[in-house]
Amino acid sequence: MRPISIVGDGAAGLARRLAGRLDGRVAVVERDGDSAEGGRPDPEPSGPAADGGIVGPAQRPEADTAIAFDGDGNWTGRGTIEGFDDLLDGLAPDHDYLLAVGESRLRVPAVLLGPDPDPDSVPGTVLATAASPGAVDLDSLVADLDTADPWITRETLVGRVEASADADRSGAIATFTGRVRARDGPDDDRTTHLAFEKYEGVAEERMDAIADELTDRDGVFDVRMHHRTGVIEAGEDIVFVVVLAGHRREAFRTVEDGIDRLKDEVPIFKKEATESETFWVHRRD
């Protein structure tokens, strides 16, 4: 799934226009109170219910799923979420795009609207800035969004290996999830977040090569890897390795070798921020 955050006056209107230009399943998430005119969303749904029965008060015919939520994380139809990452993770397996309206904290590609947009106000990459929604070049925005990093989850990768041609020969799927550790010991400074940068192109090529080499093992049918980049806060997921194999021993062994090789061979660089200092970590563990 490719997410984008649209922030500023007229963000909801731009989201609806963009949704109509995207090819695939689209989820639109609006904060309660946001709309194309700056007021509350439409009180009645104007399109069919999404799969799974999620219908928000801002249901749009252009979107396959539309959700409205308030500042406390309450959203129509499914209760309360712990954070926006949980919402992204939940929608990612079934959607090609997510358009988030009025949420500036996301570390995803962003569009900033207004007379004096500040790119430093959002943690994600800014794809476009404009004084008004009508000034945004939709053709360029769609092209830029389609080349931006997708939001990949562990469940996304599991779904991909389950769809492999050799899935009927498999008796095991093993996964590894690396996450941001807040502290090693009880007296350590708390890690607030990690920031990851990758050697563009090279990192993906090396991960693909490792996955291909591991898939060549006897009894291993598919291997998938993904490492997130940007700012990732304590407790959030960083990296996934998923292995489809004939038996559990091959699956467990390949998962362990996969994450070890990813850490040793893939050019991804980590900066750690604790409560007292920020520093580059040259040897990852």
Last residue of a domain, one of 100, 125, 147: 147
Q: Using 50, 70 and 90 to split pLDDT, how confident is the model at 108? A: confident
Question: In the listed set 101, 125, 147, which residue is the last one of a domain according to the structure?
Answer: 147
In the chain, the number of structural domains is 2
**HSE on the CB side for 112, CA within 13 Å?**
18
Q: Are residues 31 and 96 in the same domain?
A: yes
Same domain, 20 and 79: yes
Return the pLDDT at 123.
80
Q: Are residues 107 and 178 in the same domain?
A: no
* Range of weakest confidence among 23-32, 145-154, 155-164: 23-32
If asked whether residues 48 and 116 sit together in one domain, one would say yes
Q: In terms of residue numbers, what domain contains 122? A: 2-147
Give the burial class of 69: count Cβ atoms within 10 A of its Cβ; 0-12 exposed, 13-18 middle, 19 or more buried: buried
Give yes or no for a contact between 233 and 192, defined as CB atoms under 8 angstroms apart. yes
Question: To 10 degrees, what angle do helices 202-215 and 248-265 make?
Answer: 150
Q: What is the pLDDT of residue 37?
A: 38
- Report d(CA 3, CA 28) in Å as an integer: 10
Residues 57 and 142 in one domain: yes
Q: 77 and 24, same structural domain?
A: yes
Do 10 and 95 lie in a common domain? yes
Task: Indicate whether 136 and 11 sit together in one domain.
Answer: yes
Q: Looking at the structure, do residues 168 and 215 belong to the same domain, yes or no?
A: yes
pTM for the whole structure: 0.72
Per-residue pLDDT for 45 more than 70? no
**Cβ neighbours for 263, distance < 8 A, ≥ 6 positions apart:** 284
Do 97 and 188 lie in a common domain? no
Q: 34 with 99: CB under 8 angstroms?
A: no
- Boundary (domain end) residue, out of 86, 120, 147: 147
Residue 52: band (very low, low, confident or very high) from pLDDT cuts 50, 70, 90: very low
List the CATH number of the domain containing 163.
Answer: 3.90.1170.40
Q: What is the pLDDT of residue 186?
A: 87
The pairs formed by 209-213 with CB atoms below 8 angstroms and a separation of 24 or more are 210/258, 210/261, 210/262, 210/265, 210/266, 211/258
Regarding whether 22 and 113 lie in a shared domain, the answer is yes
> What pLDDT is stored for residue 22 in this prediction?
94
Residue 171: HSE in the Cβ half-sphere, 13 Å Cα cutoff: 6
Residue 59 pLDDT more than 50? Answer: no
Q: Are residues 127 and 250 in the same domain?
A: no
| Alpha-carbon torsion, ordered 119, 18, 201, 203, to 10 deg | 80
Which one, of 255, 247, 243, lies nearest residue 164 by Cα? 243
